[in-house]
Amino acid sequence: MFGIDGKAANFVKTISNMIVLNLLWVIGCLPIITIGPSTAAMVYVIRSWKVDQEDSVCRNYFRSLRSYIKTGWIVTAWFLVGFVLVLDTLFFLQMEGIVKLVLSSIIGVAFILFVLTTTFLLPIFVHFEIRGWELIKHSFVQAFVDGSTSFGVMLLWLAAGTMVYVMPVLMFFLVVPVCMLTFRFCLQSFEKFGNKVNLEVR
* Position 168 pLDDT exceeds 70: yes
When the pLDDT of each residue in the chain is averaged and rounded to a whole number, the result is 87
Summarised one tens digit per residue, pLDDT across range 53-110 is 887 899 999 999 999 998 889 999 999 999 998 888 888 878 777 877 888 888 888 9
Percentage of the chain lying above the pLDDT 90 cut: 57
Q: What is the rounded distance in angstroms from the CA atom of residue 31 to the CA atom of residue 77?
A: 15
Burial track 156-190 (b if 16+ CB lie within 10 A, e otherwise): bbeebeeebeeeeeeeeebbbbbbbbbbebbbebb
pTM beyond 0.95: no
* pLDDT score recorded for residue 34: 92
Domain extent listing, the chain:
2-197
